[in-house]
Amino acid sequence: MSHGSHYLTRVEGHGNIVVDVKKGKIKQCRWEIPEAPRFFEAMVRGRKWDELHHITSRICGICSISHTLASVKATEAALGVKPSPQTVKLRRLAKHAETFQSHILHVGYLVLPDLMGVDSVIPLASSHPEQVKTVVRLHRVANEMSDLLCGRTTHPQRIVPGGFTRLPRPEDLETLKSRLRVAIPDLQAVTELVQSVAGNFPHFERQTEYIALVQDGEYPLYDGRIGSTDGGAWDVREYRAITNEYIVPHSTAKYAKHNRDSYMVGALARFNLNEQHLMPMAKEAANSFGLKAMCCNPFMNNVAQLVECFQSIEDSTRLIDEVLADGLHGETFKVEPKAGRGASAVEAPRGILFHEYEYDNEGRCTEANLVIPTNQNHGNIQRDLEALLPDLLAKGEEQTELGMEMLVRAYDPCISCSTHMLKVRFEH
Amino acid sequence: MKPTVAFFDFAGCEGDQLQVVNLEQQLLELLEQVEIVSFREVMTGHSDEYDIAFIEGAITRKSDEARLKEIRKNAKLLVAIGACATIGGINALKNLQDLEEVKRYVYGDGAKHFQTYPTRPVDAVVKVDAYVHGCPIDRKEFLSVVKALLLGKKPEIPNYPVCVECKAAENVCVFEMGQFCVGPVTRAGCEACCITQGSICWGCRGFVDDPNTDAEKEILAKYGLNVRDVINKLRLYTANSEVAR
């Protein structure tokens, strides 16, 4: 009997979950990525150093700031350019804008419907109008923050190798700071709403390795070394030894593994490695859910995302104060093309992201390698699905589908990056 | 009954659908005028009956054509949104290289598992009734196109170059600052937003009809740029287009 198939929705991109169950026995449980491959690494070859961030930003609409930042950092590493402290602070602010925007979008628009038993945020707009308006307000603040720092919300215009093509005005940063302060009660309201339905997150745990940036004394998103919960920290230039990408036939995305069969990146990985460096409101939010490192329940990634929203607000406020105290000043910067190779890492909302380029002496790209967070998660998603399926099967097909979809959604996969849509297909 | 709309995506970054989500309060207001019956990025429900289909993304595989043709059959109006859908966009950069080599470069020995063909815009496969240009699309322009369609009008899209809007925005010409841009041959409608933000025009809205490419090449040559850089710049978003060659 064929149960037909349906696409996994409310994720960025296309993915299928194929489950083949015969007489209650699992014959097959497979995570497939049929997304049309786009070949960015090949496409950037021959392009000049001042174009790569523009092209690679188009890998992902949701995390275009992360791709832009990873790109300019790799180019700067290759060409020996050191951005000013002001530039670094403004980039860190841009990073927070994206993290906040992406996490609110995911938790508020895509995950909440599962927890509240509806199939999208649209019916919630009529059943829970105030709550939805709160989510919308938060998303707006985050987007305004991106506009202010990057020129627009998606595909930033101002971030280039060496610095910013245009700076925010001090008064705009003051306004942003007060908008962020006003957003705190809204974020607390969303946190309380998620808490009220958090019992609907499945109780599921599976030990795995978590990988994220680590940095002394901070909860790093913009820069750092590569850290693992299995122990160790490595320079970013050594990323290939950590990611070990490989290809599986049923997927247009690459997979990755390090110390074990698979590892996880993203908000939960960052939390597990850097919990001690969270700022007070973020710590309090984690405590309110009982979230503690090491947490091995992938569904708690959604909660870690909420925690990081508080972190982004608090750290942004601190950064704005610093930038304003230093005095915003227009800077000139010059980038000279030369031959070289450079690698970089940033924490995209979905996890650690690597870009590496090689340039010739005219500053034309000759080699490129990009390792995307969702690709690093595919192997771990597969193994979680395998571990989760037997328990779910006892609850019937409908609950099995929902549980498997919720699991994949918890990873907030960004599949068009990694190479789209989730389907659960039962093959009886 | 409210008109029904559906969103679909092919090869792209989903940044254009994100702009629709980013309408936020205005999206809630739009929902009073239309019913969204399919929007995979944000909802699970799906119906094959819709009046207007919005397509994001470029067509990069033979196997995508059947799905697109099915959507065309179901929809009264089909709208291409974003550069990948309207002109092929960044995804068409691969068309400038040998595709077998491109596959091998990215996937090595695994290349045989992947199918791809030269990237093309949506109108290379099916009839397109309206376009929302840009990378990403502009939220205001999206709303104005939707409004026109709901009123049964043809949306107005500028057919003059970005330079016109750039002058109106009182920007200093980037050529005067020693940089180069493709604004002189690129379709306006973006209010020259990238130049206003200190960047250049990258050409994401595609060429105006009958672009004066000779003049563009002359300007670029006048400012001392080599032919390869000039051609490369012209091809960034329009590698699919004959004009760029």
Per-residue pLDDT 10s for chain A (428 aa) are 223 233 455 555 677 888 888 777 788 888 877 777 889 999 999 999 999 999 999 999 999 999 999 999 999 999 999 999 999 999 999 999 999 999 999 999 888 988 998 888 888 988 999 999 999 999 999 999 999 999 999 999 999 999 999 999 999 999 999 999 999 999 999 999 999 999 999 889 999 999 999 999 999 999 999 999 999 999 999 999 999 988 777 676 778 899 999 999 999 999 999 999 999 999 999 999 999 999 999 999 999 999 999 999 999 999 999 999 999 999 999 999 999 999 999 999 999 999 999 999 999 999 999 999 988 998 999 999 999 998 888 888 888 888 888 898 899 887 544 432 344 566 65
Taking only Cα atoms into account, the Rg of chain A, rounded to an integer number of angstroms, comes to: 21
The alpha carbon of residue A50 is apart from the nearest alpha carbon of chain B, in Å, by: 11
The CATH number assigned to the domain with range A10-15+32-331+352-427 reads 1.10.645.10
Where is pLDDT greater, at B217 or A268?
A268
**More confident of the two residues A406 and B75:** B75
Query: Does the beta carbon of B31 lie under 8 angstroms from any beta carbon of chain A?
Result: yes
Residue A4's pLDDT is 29
One-letter amino acid at B150 equals L
CA nearest neighbour of A309 among A135, A78, A120, A88: A135
Q: Which residues contact A394 (CB under 8 A, 6 or more apart)?
A: none
CA distance A286 to B212: 59
Determine the residue of chain A that is closest to B109 in CA distance. Answer: A247
Interface of A with B in 91-120 (CB under 8 A): 105, 109-110, 113, 119-120
Which pLDDT score, from 0 to 100, does residue A419 have?
33
Q: State residue A119 phi and psi, 5-degree precision.
A: -95, 0
User: In this prediction, what percent of chain B has a pLDDT beyond 70?
Assistant: 96
Percent pLDDT > 90 in chain B is 66
Q: Does A136 touch chain B (CB under 8 A)?
A: yes
Between residues B110 and B72, the one the model is more confident about: B72
- A371 contact B CB<8A: no
- Give the chain A residue nearest B101 (alpha carbons): A42
The radius of gyration computed from the CA coordinates of chain B, to the nearest angstrom, equals 19
Q: What is the pLDDT of residue B239?
A: 86
Q: Burial letters for A79-94: b for 16+ Cβ neighbours within 10 Å, e otherwise?
A: bebebeebbbbbbbbb
What is the C-alpha to C-alpha distance for residues B46 and B36, in angstroms, rounded to an integer?
Answer: 9
Nearest CB to A154 within list B19, B44, B199: B19
**For residues B37-45, average pLDDT:** 80
- B202 to chain A: which residues are within 8 Å by CB? 54
**CATH T-level fold of B4-150:** Rossmann fold (3.40.50)
Tell me the whole-structure pTM to 2 decimals: 0.94
Q: Are the C-beta atoms of residues B68 and A5 closer than 8 Å to each other?
A: no
Angle at A142 between CA A141 and CA A143, to 5 degrees: 90
Question: What is the C-alpha separation between A254 and A263, in angstroms, rounded?
Answer: 14
Whether the Cβ atoms of residue A311 and residue A319 lie closer than 8 Å to each other: no
Q: What is the pLDDT of residue A420?
A: 29
DSSP, collapsed to helix, strand or coil, labels residue A166 as coil
Count of other CB atoms within 10 angstroms of residue A420: 27
Edge-to-edge strand list for the sheet holding A351-359:
A340-348, A351-359, A365-371
What letter does residue B76 receive in the DSSP assignment?
Answer: S
Domain segments of chain B: what residues? 4-150, 162-244
For residue A211, give the H/E element and its range.
Answer: strand A209-214
Using CA atoms, how far apart are residues A350 and A412, in angstroms rounded to an integer?
7
| Chain center to CA of A36 | 21
Distance CA A285, CA A198 (A): 13
Contacting residues of A for B236, CB less than 8 Å apart? 51, 54-55
